[in-house]
């Protein structure tokens, strides 16, 4: 089996993809068509909370200034707070790219570790589907149809990229599951999505809160990264 090998062209660090559309990233609570969360249609490098912290630390050491903005939010109408659970680094090319090398390679975010793969998790069945970014010229994709051992193929070809891409998506799903659970428990009240009035347009009057602060307020002690790690390991074990 031919394996994917990054040829370090650096292209994926020079230009980032925008979120496709607000609607493409919505979720419902399975009880009905009630959609809660909102993304901005901006291009940038998606980052989780701890990745923002880590890149900020690295940038200070390297004397690089970063422009990072909230990217994905839900609005809690009980506390009048905007819960930010994903951010974007907006500079293109990435300020950590130097001579086509990543200055923070060991600490690069999951999106970079997973590239060129992106994974989707079906809300209802939890089934995975995957896609590759067409701008990576080195990446290849199965031509056989139907592909029986699709995940196995992806793991064999993309190896750690596949694991990172699964983890990334699972972390996001875990966040959203917790938001929905908190709403069911009456701890928060999520603003519903309205196509005419995207949440970001209305969100400026709400105070920002990050997921760590939200978890603290509600005494939630789950380790989202560990859960995602375990999920990725379980998938790999199932395939072996
Ligand atoms: S575009 Fe593909 S080949 Fe080029 S650096 Fe990114 S992952 Fe590697
Ligand atoms: S953090 Fe590193 S790998 Fe990720 S986009 Fe920036 S330079 Fe590329």
What's the pLDDT tens digit per position in 207-234? 889 999 999 999 988 888 788 888 778 7
From residue 157, give the alpha-carbon distance in Å to each of 2, 6, 151, 180, 182: 7, 12, 10, 35, 39
Q: What number of other Cβ atoms are within 10 A of residue 80's Cβ?
A: 10
Q: Are 35 and 28 spatial neighbours (Cβ–Cβ below 8 Å)? A: yes
Task: State the Cα–Cα distance between residues 238 and 240, nearest whole angstrom.
Answer: 6
Sorted by sequence, the CB contacts under 8 Å of residue 62 that are 6+ apart come out as 96, 103
Residue owning the nearest CA to atom 5 of ligand 2: 13
H/E element holding 130? Answer: strand 128-132
| Residue 23 clears pLDDT 90, i.e. is over it | no
Q: What number of other Cβ atoms are within 10 A of residue 3's Cβ?
A: 9
At what angle are helices 224-239 and 150-158 packed, to 10 degrees?
Answer: 110
User: For 89-117, what is the mean pLDDT?
Assistant: 94
pLDDT at 89: 96
pLDDT at 177: 84
CA of 211 to the centre of ligand 2 (A): 24
Confidence of residue 36 (pLDDT cuts 50, 70, 90): low
pLDDT at 131: 78
* Residue to mutate, 4, 9, 102, 105, ligand 1, most ligand atoms under 8 Å from C-beta: 9
Confidence of residue 45 (pLDDT cuts 50, 70, 90): very high
Q: What number of other Cβ atoms are within 10 A of residue 37's Cβ?
A: 24
Q: Which residue has the higher pLDDT, 201 or 208?
A: 208
67 burial (CB, 10 Å; 0-12 / 13-18 / 19+) is exposed
Residue owning the nearest CA to atom 2 of ligand 1: 136
Residue owning the nearest CA to atom 7 of ligand 1: 6
| Residue 124 clears pLDDT 90, i.e. is over it | no
The pLDDT tens digits of the residues spanning 3-13 come to 888 988 999 99
The pLDDT tens digits of the residues spanning 136-189 come to 888 887 665 545 567 788 888 888 998 999 888 888 888 888 888 898 899 999
Average pLDDT over the chain reads 82
Ligand 1 atom at shortest distance from the alpha carbon of 13 = 6
CA of 154 to the centre of ligand 1 (A): 17
Task: State the Cα–Cα distance between residues 40 and 200, nearest whole angstrom.
Answer: 7
Q: Encoding tokens for residue 196? A: 């005419």
Q: Which residue has the higher pLDDT, 126 or 36?
A: 126
Confidence of residue 191 (pLDDT cuts 50, 70, 90): confident
Q: The whole model's pTM is what?
A: 0.86
pLDDT at 24: 44
Q: Where are the domains of the chain?
A: 11-239
């Amino acid at each position: 089996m031919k394996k994917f090998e990054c040829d370090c062209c650096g292209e994926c660090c020079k230009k980032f993809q925008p979120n496709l559309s607000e609607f493409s990233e919505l979720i419902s609570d399975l009880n009905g068509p009630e959609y809660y969360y909102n993304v901005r249609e901006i291009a940038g490098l998606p980052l989780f909370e701890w990745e923002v912290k880590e890149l900020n630390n690295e940038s200070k050491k390297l004397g690089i200034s970063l422009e990072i903005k909230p990217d994905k939010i839900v609005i809690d109408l009980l506390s009048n707070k905007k819960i930010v659970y994903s951010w974007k680094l907006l500079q293109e090319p990435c300020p950590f790219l130097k001579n086509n090398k990543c200055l923070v390679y060991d600490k690069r975010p999951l999106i970079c570790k997973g590239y060129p793969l992106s994974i989707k998790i079906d809300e209802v069945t939890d089934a995975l589907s995957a896609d590759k970014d067409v701008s990576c010229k080195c990446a290849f994709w199965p031509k056989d149809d139907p592909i029986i051992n699709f995940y196995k193929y992806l793991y064999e070809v993309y190896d750690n990229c596949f694991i990172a891409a699964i983890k990334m998506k699972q972390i996001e799903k875990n966040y959203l599951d917790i938001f929905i659970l908190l709403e069911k428990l009456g701890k928060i009240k999520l603003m519903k999505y309205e196509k005419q009035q995207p949440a970001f347009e209305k969100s400026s009057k709400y105070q920002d809160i990050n997921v760590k602060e939200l978890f603290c307020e509600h005494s939630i002690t789950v380790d989202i990264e560990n859960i995602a790690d375990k999920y990725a390991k379980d998938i790999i074990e199932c395939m072996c």
